[in-house]
Amino acid sequence: MKRVDVQRRGIGMVCEGGRSMLKVWAPEAKQAFVCTREDKLPLTAQAFGYWSSELSLCAGDAYRIELDDCVYPDPASLCQPEDVHSWSQVVDASFAWTDNAWENPPLSAYIFYELHTGTFSEEGTFAGVEAKLDYLKELGITAVELMPLAQFPGTRNWGYDGVFPFAVHYAYGGAKGLQSLVDKCHEKGLAVVLDVVYNHVGPEGNYLSSFGPYFTDKYKTPWGDAVNFDDAGSDQVRDFFIENALMWFRDFHIDALRLDAVHAIKDMSAKHILQEIREYVDELSAFTGEHYHLIVECDLNDRRFLDERSLNGYAMDAQWNDEFHHALRVCAGVERTGYYADFNGPEHLAKAYRDAYVYDGIYSETRARSFGSKTDGLDGNRFIVFSQNHDQVGNRMFGERTSALHSFEMLKLLAAAVFVSPYLPLIFMGEEWGSGSAFQYFISHSDPELTDAVREGRKAEFSGFYEDGECPDPQAEETFQNSKLDWNKLEAYPHKCLHEYYTFLIAMRKDLQALHSGDRSGVRTSVTDPSGMLQLYRSAPGQDLVCLFNFTKQQQHTDVPGLPENAILLLDSAAKQWEGPGTAPQESPSRILLQPESVLIILWR
């Protein structure tokens, strides 16, 4: 039996045509009311612990919910204009959309640009993002990925402390601001991906437990008790998050959801919550005629998340592949500690190019056990790769970007390594011009004890990694301001050149089937020197190419047997065109000299 109507939102305050219907789940309450600034109106008890009533509230009206003499914001509020502890506001979710001709492209066409709304522009709003859409389009981006937008305490946060999953953060522009941004993106031919968090809820302003058993102590996550997806009362909790996923697609025209850290979703039900979300999203797709993508972040190397439901899989469309990142960064010289300890550089990068997962059933030294599953039969377009993202930058103590850790030549090499892969490429805001702005961890909690706990937690997290320097204060506005992109640097040396280089890489990937194809059967690799020399071969009908990587700091020879005379050099990252030391002199067509920290891409037809 279907518990959720995909055609309309069934929980929270639904406002249509000057009337509103409120439905809230509070199974233990003896009585429930909706409070306005002038009145208090009773809610009627319904089956399964729901309370509801038709109301004469209009868009913009303030309201709260009273349960047994205690007053709270609406847990399914669409707007919190004051703060996470105060009044909820009625929102009419209708919008004058102009994107009727928009068609969500297949994931194979996605080139992701991950951004944080608050730090992407000086304004720190959806309007600030809108102002840069032409820039993203000219760069070659096809999908804008927004970090989480759920209402969080204060005005500064990564978004992973959201406590009102249905409320678009007010300081960014709220629901209408997001709808306008999505509409403009579609006008420009850009898909929109939204990062959502279903594995935990932030600590400040989290009133869910006051309404019902939204959490269970059966399991623990790094952030506390797990969301209750399989314990008593879990049907209604599951419906809460299913309704959330459907709302973004149906009411905000989002094209894809990126589900954060699904390995932290604990669910032993016969039907996993991800499977159920997939079913409802498919039902919505059948109703609207639109196609929606579900992407997961997962560190389990478990193909069940991608396998079809007929194989008892969760049928997610794609997943972030951190192991590609780890292997790539070890090639670049990152110290093999922490999550890099299990990766040896070129050999594991070569395996990632071929097999997606490095650990696909082989023994892991750090885990002291075999780990992962094979990815045979899964198209390359089921995986998303990157050389940096918000986690890999912001989870460093000082939030240093790759541009602060590696040479300009290595930045170009890392970028090429991502764009020639058989997987979907993602770049993190500002990466494409080597932004020097840090991306640090920031919050704006109002609870002093919680703030102190976060500060101490950050210090403890990095105590074994850094001997010098103080951990930036996550509560300080300076930490947030330091994380904003400085767009004035874009036209300066050498940022402009790197931007042109990224634009070239993206255009080359789009143009060559051998590169944008997700067919992994044409992928071959050869590690010619374990210290840092790797060859990657890609092919498609009528096209063959080889990518020659030199991750070392010395000139290196590499042999390419059988390289035809009609081969064309598409890219030399060391060329003067790209502010490099210049193309190395060649001794013979098949014995090639590479400059330090460089890549050559050679094509033949």
In the chain, how many domains are there?
Answer: 2
User: How far is C-alpha 275 from the chain's CA centre?
Assistant: 20
Of 392 and 426, the structure prediction assigns the larger pLDDT to 426
Residue 52 predicted with pLDDT over 70: yes
The C-alpha angle 437, 441, 445, rounded to 5 degrees, equals 130
pLDDT digits (tens, 9 = 90+) for 77-102: 999 999 999 999 999 999 999 999 99
Q: What is the DSSP letter of 338?
A: G
**Predicted pLDDT at 467:** 57
Distance CA 423, CA 404 (A): 26
**Predicted pLDDT at 554:** 97
Domain assignment present for 491: no
Domain assignment present for 141: no
pLDDT digits (tens, 9 = 90+) for 559-574: 999 899 889 999 999 9
Is the sign of the CA dihedral 366, 158, 400, 192 positive or negative? positive
Is the sign of the CA dihedral 395, 400, 402, 405 positive or negative? negative
What's 565's domain CATH number? 2.60.40.1180
Give the domain-ending residue among 41, 69, 89: 89
Q: Work out the mean pLDDT of the chain and round it to a whole number.
A: 95
Element (H, E) at 32: strand 32-35
Q: What beta strand segments (E) does 323-481 contain?
A: 362-364, 369-371, 383-385, 424-428
Question: Which residues touch 295 (CB under 8 Å, ≥6 apart)?
Answer: 193, 256, 257, 258, 259, 316, 317, 318, 319, 320, 384
Of 72, 228, 88, 260, the C-alpha closest to 159 is 260
Residue 398 pLDDT level (bands cut at 50, 70, 90):
confident
Domain assignment present for 548: yes
Q: Determine whether 99 is an active site residue.
A: no
**Predicted pLDDT at 395:** 79
Domain assignment present for 53: yes
Domain assignment present for 362: no
Give the domain-ending residue among 89, 116, 140: 89
**Predicted pLDDT at 314:** 98
Residue 468 predicted with pLDDT over 70: no
Give the active site residue among 66, 260, 323, 391: 260
Residue 2 pLDDT level (bands cut at 50, 70, 90):
confident
With pLDDT > 90 as the criterion, what percentage of the chain qualifies? 91
Residue 147 predicted with pLDDT over 60: yes
Q: Determine whether 297 is an active site residue.
A: yes
**Predicted pLDDT at 339:** 86
Domain assignment present for 26: yes
**Predicted pLDDT at 475:** 94
The mean per-residue pLDDT over the stretch 299-314 comes to: 96
* Phi (first) and psi of residue 4, to 5 degrees: -120, 135
With pLDDT > 70 as the criterion, what percentage of the chain qualifies? 99
Domain assignment present for 132: no
* Helical residues (DSSP H) of 216-345, grouped into ranges: 234-252, 273-288, 322-331
The mean per-residue pLDDT over the stretch 368-378 comes to: 97
**Predicted pLDDT at 205:** 96
Question: Which residues touch 430 (CB under 8 Å, ≥6 apart)?
Answer: 401, 437, 485
Domain hosting 576: range is 521-604
pLDDT digits (tens, 9 = 90+) for 515-556: 999 999 999 999 999 999 999 999 999 999 999 999 999 999
**Predicted pLDDT at 165:** 98
Give the active site residue among 230, 297, 355, 431: 297
The mean per-residue pLDDT over the stretch 19-26 comes to: 96
Residue 63 predicted with pLDDT over 90: yes
Give the domain-ending residue among 89, 124, 144: 89
**Predicted pLDDT at 465:** 58
**Predicted pLDDT at 5:** 97
Residue 469 predicted with pLDDT over 80: no
Domain assignment present for 430: no
Residue 464 predicted with pLDDT over 60: no
pLDDT digits (tens, 9 = 90+) for 376-391: 999 999 999 999 999 9
Residue 325 predicted with pLDDT over 80: yes
What's 81's domain CATH number? 2.60.40.10
Residue 1 predicted with pLDDT over 70: no
Residue 312 pLDDT level (bands cut at 50, 70, 90):
very high
pLDDT digits (tens, 9 = 90+) for 245-273: 999 999 999 999 999 999 999 999 999 99
